[in-house]
């Protein structure tokens, strides 16, 4: 297997080397880097912006692990399987929940400070879909910021980890046998490593996070453009479960024209007892699910969307006035500040909320060692699909997944290194040249892709709505091809490379979502409202055709 397509880009003007090159500096990437170092391998972390600019630092609620008295991995497993709606890989979930508690303890040993009670025990809260208090948090609602701070400090402290910031990774490089041998990247800056270059490595780990920027309204930061999934597709890797995008039910509603990253109002606010109410003050979740406001996210997002449709409203409300000022200030300082910054005081008024794209349950398909279908290419964190989330991620399982599977990748690399199975690789330059260049859309395509996706492939989907999205996306791709044929292509630069990645990922997502003719987990088809286990209790595997179009094939049952 070799790279079949590549982004249009200048030839690399410089080269660097590492044993393992890790793409991305969130919880997943930094955990891989710290752990491969312990095995004596030289790690390089390349990251698109500053080290802490991914989703990790935005995580609020916390990290789920069976740490509390009476809780067990088995109960955590049960809750995860229920949320996953029949599509979790049970063995992957078992790995997550059994290795999770110790992985959190190791994170604490690395320096992350979690909130503790007066007795010194870690405080645990509840979130949607969890039948136990098992969410550890830090700084009240600033868990991700604390995890990021601790991991960034640890990698900065390790001279054996080379860090390259402002480096947009473009494509994979392989050797003559099709094994990952490094990558191409564009460094924004000045000096010896400026512009497009290449990093040669014995193995490559993708930890590029999510793809929320495919939609207009998202909780994800600007860097979450699905680059890792797009790179993997171009490299011939299998990608799966792309249709399962989790929409967070309670995102601060900033008006009908708001675009890009929007502030999240964590599930933990409902966990502590805030109520969802409609414009008339009615608690509409009561009676819809045994857990009411704490039902799994897809149920809550659907109920909010349904109520919004019924009432012709643009948002619902989250009412936490009964917490009082002191609880808001101590337990949810970040959310309180972000609401107040937008003119809403949750102490005295209910918060306007609506669903927005939040989490990609699917991604680059891996086994339980984080190996993708391309030898030497690994993936972990949100970019990966390890099988733990199935059709819907259980709240706060994602930071944990990033930790656990990053550690497993590092262990596998260490083992292969010890066994002499991780030799230096020689890049197959001819194969790289033979890969077909993908034409770049103009940077303005980003907003158009987001509009098409939110309109046709958001919380509510139907064959007709997705056909509209697919047609709009196909037009953007045709225009990019036409401009290349006329020798008037868009300039290769960060904005156009990101637009190309968004276009590919959006096209693949719509293709999969259109094919899955049922409602399951966070994939909600208005035209197929029932879950259809007979036909669809299986995954859709997406790959690229020779012409560069994504195609989704149902896995054998």
List active site positions. Answer: 297
Report if residue 386 touches ligand FAD, rule: CB under 6 A. no
Residue 209 contacts ligand FAD per CB under 6 A: yes
Taking contact as CB under 6 A, which single stretch among the options 43-51, 361-369, 484-492, 523-531 is the one that binds ligand FAD?
43-51
Residue 23 binds ligand FAD, judged by CB under 6 A: yes
| Residue number with CB closer to ligand FAD (269 or 466) | 269
DSSP 276-290: EE-TT---TTBTTBT
Q: Is the dihedral of CA 496, 498, 502, 505 positive or negative?
A: positive
Q: Within 158-197, which residues bind ligand FAD (CB under 6 A)?
A: 167-169
Is 548 one of the binding residues for ligand FAD (CB under 6 A)?
A: no
Please select the residue that binds ligand FAD; options are 227, 412, 428, 518, rule is CB under 6 A: 227
Residues facing 196 on adjacent strands: 186
503 lines the binding site for ligand FAD (CB under 6 A): no
Quick one: which of 143, 107, 387 has its CA closest to 135?
A: 143
By the rule CB under 6 A, 45 interacts with ligand FAD: no
Which segment (24-32, 334-342, 346-354, 468-476) binds ligand FAD by CB under 6 A?
Answer: 24-32
- Smallest distance, Å, CB 423 to ligand FAD? 25
Give the dihedral of Cα atoms 536, 546, 509, 399; nearest 10 deg.
90
Token pair of 35 as six digits: 């752990």
58 counts as binding ligand FAD under rule CB under 6 A: yes
Q: Applying CB under 6 A, which of residues 53, 99, 175, 243 lies at the interface with ligand FAD? A: 53
Footprint on residues 314-343 left by ligand FAD (CB under 6 A): none
Q: Which residue has the tokens 């600033």?
A: 142
Region of 21-29, 432-440, 459-467, 505-513 interacting with ligand FAD (CB under 6 A): 21-29
The residue assigned the tokens 């306007």 is 352
Expressed in percent and rounded to 5, the helix, strand and coil fractions of the chain are: 35, 20, 45
- Using rule CB under 6 A, residue 63 touches ligand FAD: yes
Binding ligand FAD (rule: CB under 6 A), the pick from 12, 29, 140, 249 is 29
> Under DSSP, is residue 332 helix (H, G, I), strand (E, B) or coil?
coil
User: What CA–CA distance (Å, rounded) separates 31 from 18?
Assistant: 17
How wide is the angle at C-alpha 295 spanned by C-alphas 289 and 299, nearest 5°? 80
Which of 84, 402, 441, 472: binder of ligand FAD (CB under 6 A)? 402
Binding of ligand FAD by 60 (CB under 6 A):
yes
Smallest distance, ligand FAD to C-beta of residue 49, A: 5
Pairing of strands 43-46, 20-23: parallel
Q: Is the Cβ–Cβ distance between 113 and 413 less than 8 Å? A: no
Q: Which of residues 238-267 bind ligand FAD (CB under 6 A)?
A: 264
At closest approach, how far in Å is the CB of 28 from ligand FAD?
3
Please check whether residue 82 is in contact with residue 288, taking contact to mean a CB–CB distance below 8 angstroms.
no
* Max intra-chain CA distance, the chain: 70
Question: Does 115 help bind ligand FAD (rule: CB under 6 A)?
Answer: no
144 binds ligand FAD (CB under 6 A): yes
Q: Per-residue x/- mask for ligand FAD, residues 339 to 368, rule CB under 6 A?
A: --------------------x---------
146, 109, 138: which is closest to 122 by C-alpha? 138
**Residue 229 phi, psi (nearest 5):** -65, -40
Taking a C-beta distance cutoff of 8 angstroms, is the pair 332, 207 a contact?
Answer: no
**172 C-beta neighbours (distance < 10 Å), count:** 27
Site membership for ligand FAD, residue 220 (CB under 6 A): yes
State the residues that interact with ligand FAD by CB under 6 A. 23-29, 46-49, 53-56, 58-63, 143-144, 167-169, 207-210, 219-220, 223-224, 227, 264, 359, 381-383, 396-399, 402
């Amino acid at each position: 297997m070799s790279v079949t397509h590549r982004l249009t880009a200048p030839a690399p003007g410089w080269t660097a080397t590492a044993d393992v090159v890790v793409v991305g500096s969130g919880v997943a990437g930094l955990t891989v880097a710290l752990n491969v170092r312990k095995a004596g391998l030289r790690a390089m972390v390349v990251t698109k912006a500053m080290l802490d600019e991914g989703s990790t630092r935005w995580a609020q609620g916390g990290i789920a692990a069976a740490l509390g008295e009476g809780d067990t991995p088995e109960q955590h497993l049960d809750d995860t399987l229920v949320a996953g709606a029949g599509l979790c890989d049970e063995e992957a979930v078992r790995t997550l929940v059994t290795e999770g508690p110790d992985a959190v303890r190791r994170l604490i040993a690395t320096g992350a400070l979690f909130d503790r009670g007066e007795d010194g025990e870690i405080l645990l809260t509840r979130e949607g879909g969890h039948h136990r208090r098992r969410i550890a948090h830090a700084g009240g609602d600033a868990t991700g910021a604390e995890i990021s701070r601790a991991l960034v400090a640890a990698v900065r402290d390790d001279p054996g980890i080379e860090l390259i910031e402002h480096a947009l990774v473009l494509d994979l490089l392989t050797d003559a046998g099709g094994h990952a041998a490094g990558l191409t990247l564009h460094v924004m800056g000045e000096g010896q490593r400026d512009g497009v270059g290449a990093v040669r490595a014995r193995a490559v780990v993708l930890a590029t996070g999510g793809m929320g920027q495919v939609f207009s309204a998202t909780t994800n930061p600007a860097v979450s453009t699905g680059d890792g999934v797009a790179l993997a597709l171009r490299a011939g890797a299998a990608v799966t479960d792309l249709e399962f995008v989790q929409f967070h039910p309670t995102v601060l509603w900033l008006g009908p024209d708001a675009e890009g990253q929007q502030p999240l109002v964590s599930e933990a606010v409902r966990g502590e007892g805030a109520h969802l109410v409609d414009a008339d003050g009615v608690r509409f979740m009561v009676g819809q699910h045994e857990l009411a406001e704490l039902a799994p996210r897809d149920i809550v997002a659907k109920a909010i969307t349904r109520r919004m449709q019924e009432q012709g409203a643009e948002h619902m409300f989250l009412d936490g006035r009964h917490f009082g000022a002191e609880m808001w200030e101590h337990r949810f300082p970040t959310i309180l500040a972000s609401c107040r910054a937008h003119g809403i005081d949750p102490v005295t008024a209910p918060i306007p909320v609506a669903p927005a794209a939040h989490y990609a349950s699917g991604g680059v398909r891996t086994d339980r060692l984080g190996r993708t279908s391309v030898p030497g290419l690994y993936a972990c964190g949100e970019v990966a699909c390890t099988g733990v989330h199935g059709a819907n991620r259980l709240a706060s399982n994602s930071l944990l997944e990033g930790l656990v599977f990053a550690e497993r990748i590092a262990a596998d690399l260490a083992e292969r290194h010890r066994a002499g199975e991780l030799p230096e690789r020689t890049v197959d330059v001819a194969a790289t040249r033979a890969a077909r260049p993908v034409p770049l859309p103009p940077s303005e395509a980003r907003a158009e892709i987001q509009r098409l996706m939110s309109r046709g492939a958001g919380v509510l989907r139907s064959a007709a709505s997705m056909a509209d999205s697919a047609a709009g996306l196909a037009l953007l791709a045709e225009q990019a091809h036409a401009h290349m044929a006329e020798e008037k292509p868009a300039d290769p630069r960060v904005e156009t490379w990101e637009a190309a990645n968004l276009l590919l990922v959006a096209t693949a997502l719509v293709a999969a979502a259109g094919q899955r003719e049922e409602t399951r987990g966070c994939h909600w088809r208005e035209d197929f409202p029932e879950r259809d286990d007979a036909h669809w209790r299986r995954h859709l595997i997406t790959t690229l055709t020779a012409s560069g179009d994504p195609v989704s094939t149902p896995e054998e049952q």
